[in-house]
Chains A and B, each alone.
Chain A
Amino acid sequence: MSAIRTENLCKTYRSGWKREETFAVRMLNLEVKEGEIFGFLGPNGAGKTSTIHLLLNLIRPTSGMAYLFDRPVPETAVHRRLGYLPESVNLHTYYRGRELLNFYAALCGVPVETRSSRVSELLQRLQLEEAAEKSVAKYSKGMAQRIGFAQAMIHDPDLLILDEPTASLDPVGRKEFRDILLELKRRGKTVFISSHILSEVETICDRVAILQNGELKRMGTLQELSADKSTRLVVGSLPAPVLEALAATRAEVTMTQAKIVIRCPDETLRQTVEELLHQHHVGILQRETETQSLEEIFFSSITPPPKL
């Protein structure tokens, strides 16, 4: 079962007297499997937040369908399995921290017996214990983000949809946040995360999708998306005939005191080099597949904006 699935999802807005159409999302086909951390990337105005709003049924698709756990998104019951943290966390400022979490816990149907302990656990986990009895109106941006994250997790949902979750957090907060997400993944939860911080997404996400102008440009694991499929073979020594043979190929040989690294730019060459090494009884100490960084993948996937 997929946690999120969209089928030819489209969203257009009409504005102005001429009711001109603006495409927010075009024919989006996404599939997020259960238990994975999925990164949703794209430049500003790519349609990430619109997609999230469609998934939450806050806006209606112009065409196409969206499903959460194979149920159409307008079904409210499926929201029992969903936690959401918006980009800008707007909270009910007339609550204290603990009261706010109690309110959302009650809305999510968390039983009264376990509600208090669950709230305390989350306040402790997100280091909000001291601010628990403070009015939410007095919270800093970072604290609001933390309590927003706590409300998203209050009912221990199977799917978390996070829109720019670390935007207001300091480096320590980001690290804690990453740890929590990895812990959730270990527990089999699905996380759908929209972020601009590529290094962060690269560290935690199993798969990513890159969106631009409402269109899905790429989707897959980092390895799948990487155009550079070169392999690094590490050996201890190389006999002269092998060195000569390698010189005739596109393989790059780098020698250091301790090891020799042979870089094969493509899969065919890697096979040829490995056969050659095998023929000369050279043992391969290490085999590494090089991939592009997410940043490289991102910039190679999107059309650069016109220069000002």
Chain B
Amino acid sequence: MKTIFLIATDSIRALLYQRLLLGLMVASLALTIVFSILMSSARKNITAAYSSEATHSATATTAATNGMSATEQKRFRASMEQASSFLQAEFYAMASGGGEVVSLFIFSLAVTSEIRRGTIRLTLSKPVSRLQFLLGKYLGGVVVMAGYAMLTCLAIFIFAQSQGLELNPAVKWAPWLMFCDELILGSVAMLLSLFVHPLVASVLALFGGNGLCSLHNPLYYLLPSYQDFSVFSQVLQGSLLSWKDVLFLSLYALDFVIIMLLLALWRFRAKELI
């Protein structure tokens, strides 16, 4: 276990040393925030226009009543809440997209970059088994992705506070689900990178989900399901995630990651490291 932690620590250090990765993470977060601020200001403009129009119409038709009717106010509030949820979900959809790219970058290169640079030879000449090496590399990636998820979590909180948005219950689970999604994606990318070029592995992992298969297709049950982790679509559908749903999705992610890692280990054990 100590060896796995040592490899993981080394892996974290290697990842943080990569300026490209750090730049990718910062750019992903920055783009998400900028896009969300733009969306938010657009929402405010629409709200202001809607509000003045409603007030004008109300004044013209019913001079006796002051402002909007109760029904209009209710509808207005509902649409504002929906817009707020939409904004938060959109924020996470953006952050999740960025996270997926970061995850693919980390996991598809975790082992292959060591093989390409030849540093793996020194590490494996020490009393380090291939299992320990692979798990250490994955664990290092998991820690970095957890850090990224926490940063995103902090960003949504600050964003929601600054924009005066109430956090949607479904959105509260978003960082965790995003994290699980990225780990599944990462494990698939890591496995595939042991067979093909990391870039090809990343593309295959990203577009190889079961979203395009029907329920009757056996591949549906074999390929990873990414869309279930998308808070965006759930918010749009108006569904609220219960803790049971989240637990089920977490177990699914854990299962899938374990299977992918076992397959990766099977491949890695036989791989020639030259």
Contacts and interface: CB of A to CB of B under 8 A. Distances in A.
Interface of A: 53, 56-60, 76-77, 79-80, 82-84, 86, 88-95, 103-104, 106-109, 148, 151, 161
A89 B118 CA distance: 8
Interface in B1-24: 3, 6, 10, 13-14, 17
A106 B124 contact: no
B126 A91 contact: no
Given A94-B13, A94-B14, A103-B10, A56 B119 contact: no
Interface of B: 3, 6, 10, 13-14, 17, 117-119, 121-129, 270, 272-274
A109 B127 contact: yes
Contact of A104 (B14, B126, B272, B273): B126
B158 to A, nearest CB: 31
B213 to A, nearest CB: 33
A92 B17 CA distance: 10
B7 to A, nearest CB: 8
Contact residues of B: prevailing secondary structure: helix
Given A59-B273, A60-B270, A60-B272, A92 B125 contact: no
A107 B123 CA distance: 8
Given A53-B274, A151-B122, A76 B128 contact: yes
A88 B209 CA distance: 41
Contact of B119 (A53, A60, A90, A109): A90
A56 B10 contact: no
B122 A58 contact: no
B6 A84 contact: no
A92 B128 contact: no
Given A103-B10, A108-B127, 8 more contacts: A58-B121, A79-B126, A90-B117, A90-B118, A92-B119, A104-B126, A107-B3, A107-B127
Given A90-B119, A94-B13, A56 B124 contact: yes
A79 B119 contact: no
Contacts of A95: 13
Nearest to A92: B119
Central interface residue in B3, B13, B125, by most chain A CB within 10 Å:
B125
B110 to A, nearest CB: 14
Lowest 7 A-B CB distances belong to which pairs?
A94-B17, A84-B125, A90-B118, A107-B126, A79-B127, A76-B129, A58-B273
Contacts of A161: 125
